[in-house]
Amino acid sequence: MRPALVFSTAVSAMVYVSSASALDITPIGDASTLASAIQSTGSAITVTSASYSGAESAAGTYTAGPLGIPDGALLTSGGAVLALPPNDSGATTQVNNLPGDPLCDALIPGFTSFDAAKLTITFDLAAGFDGISFQSIFGSEEFPEFVGSSFNDVYGVYLNGVQIAFDENGNPITINGPFFSSVDVVTDTETEYDGSTKLLTTQAPLAGGSTGNVLEIVICDGGDFVLDSGVFIAGLNGCVGDNCSGTVPCELVDNDGDGANSCDDCDDTDPTVHPGAAETCNEVDDDCDSEVDEGGVCCPDADADGACDGYDNCLGVANADQYDTDGDGHGDACDPCMYDSENDSDGDGICGDVDQCEYTEPETAPTVKLGVNRFADTDGDGVFDTVLPKGVGPQRTYTLEDTGGCSCTQIIEALGVGDGHMKFGCSISVMDTWVSLVHP
């Protein structure tokens, strides 16, 4: 019997954060939450049910996992939060006083398992896939002191009753297995555990379109209740290809052939998803940076005013406030008639809110000829024509903007002036009188 440093803790919804790294662990025994945390993005895997057995505090979800493993779930033979770094104890233990599991016992003949934590996921695999894949890291406080001893902590994964989790040499993952006696053990585990596997990618063949598949992930103490072990597991997804089997270091796996290995590829079944891919508006993390549809891909904004082009009422003109005083769908910043919802309906260049003549009537004056210092827009260009005086005299000009969109003919009618104006055009005095009325 080994002496045990026993640590027990109440389980709550608290997030436990390591002061030595970014690893966060939230202890939780809810099976649906754990299954969801393990499942990768994509449509390969549809979880239909999940169950968990073990101590509530032995399981949890995590973010910023060790050795680059994606966010996922953690199962332990002790306490989930005890996996947090720094690695400042060689004997971290939480005794849960629970039985082991036959699936663990099958992997460690001659040993009895204890403190089992097991997550069972029932799922369907979409058509077009040839199997499943996931990533995991197994770490333990048993290393190095109790390697090859009468204590043999163990981690296994069973797919439809068949064990599929192995070390990179094809052996079951146990403390007394060949891996933990090799030089390949990771000692800088970025956790409390004294030794761990590398980040491993496990693949197992499974018929695409199959339903009701059962995946059992289990971890146990072996030989006694003492010294914690844990497995970080993430990225449950489909895999494709003839080699969809075995457990190898993730850097050697590229299921979708996009040039990104499964250590770095957040969806190794989709060649359009990988680090460096262009982010598109599809609710998928295309570039594997843990952000979805970032960079404004769902909201192109050519004028950088914070309004998406599809909704910007002044496309190409920055107008963050999107003010539209007349409610015509054209923002004030680009609306030449911001107080006229009909936007100069008569097309005379004068906005309706200041247009004194609803329709600019073509000139019928002068009926005889345009006189000196008489005015009429005879050519309809918006500038009143005139005959300039010889020598010194008034040099006046008028435009439709000055007259509020009214022609000389309309001004004559509105003011009721004499026939001479119809014969020779509006005089300076008539024009000035009208302009003063329009622009008081």
In sign, the C-alpha dihedral spanning 401, 404, 406, 410 is negative
The two tokens of residue 8 are: 């027990």
Q: How many CB atoms lie within 10 A of CB 339?
A: 12
Q: What is the pLDDT of residues 74-129, one digit of tens each?
A: 999 999 999 999 999 888 999 999 999 999 999 999 999 999 999 999 999 999 89
The pLDDT, as a whole number, for residue 24 is: 95
Tokens of 272: 């359009």
Q: Whose CA is closest to 232, among 117, 132, 136?
A: 136
385 touches 375 (CB < 8 A): yes
User: For residues 374 and 425, what is the distance between their CA atoms, to the nearest angstrom?
Assistant: 5
pLDDT at 343: 85
- Tokens at residue 307, please? 């309004």
Work out the burial of residue 112: count CB atoms within 10 Å of its CB; fewer than 13 is exposed, 13-18 middle, 19 or more buried: middle
Residue 338 in contact with residue 385, Cβ under 8 Å? no
| Residue 208 · residue 130 · CB < 8 Å | yes
Comparing CA positions, the residue from 390, 401, 388 lying closest to residue 428 is 388
pLDDT averaged per 10 residues, the chain (length 440): 46 49 91 96 90 98 93 97 92 96 97 98 95 95 96 98 92 96 95 96 95 98 96 93 77 82 84 91 89 84 84 89 90 89 86 88 93 94 92 84 95 94 96 94
pLDDT at residue 20, as a whole number: 45
391: Cβ contacts below 8 Å, ≥ 6 apart: none
pTM, two decimals, is 0.62
At 175, give phi and psi (nearest 5°).
-60, -35
The two tokens of residue 143 are 């290393």
Rounded CA-CA distance 133/246 in Å is: 9
Hey, how many other C-beta atoms are within 10 angstroms of the C-beta on 325?
A: 14
The structural domains of the chain, with segments of one domain joined by +, span 5-252, 299-343, 348-440
| Cis amide bond preceding 366, omega within 30 | yes
What pLDDT does 41 receive? 77
- CA angle (286, 291, 292) in 5-degree steps: 60
In degrees and rounded to multiples of 5, residue 279 shows phi and psi of -75, 130
Q: At residue 49, what is the residue type? A: S
pLDDT at 340: 87
Three-state secondary structure string covering 84-123: CCCCCCCCEECCCCCECCHHHHCCCCCCCEEEEEEEEEEE
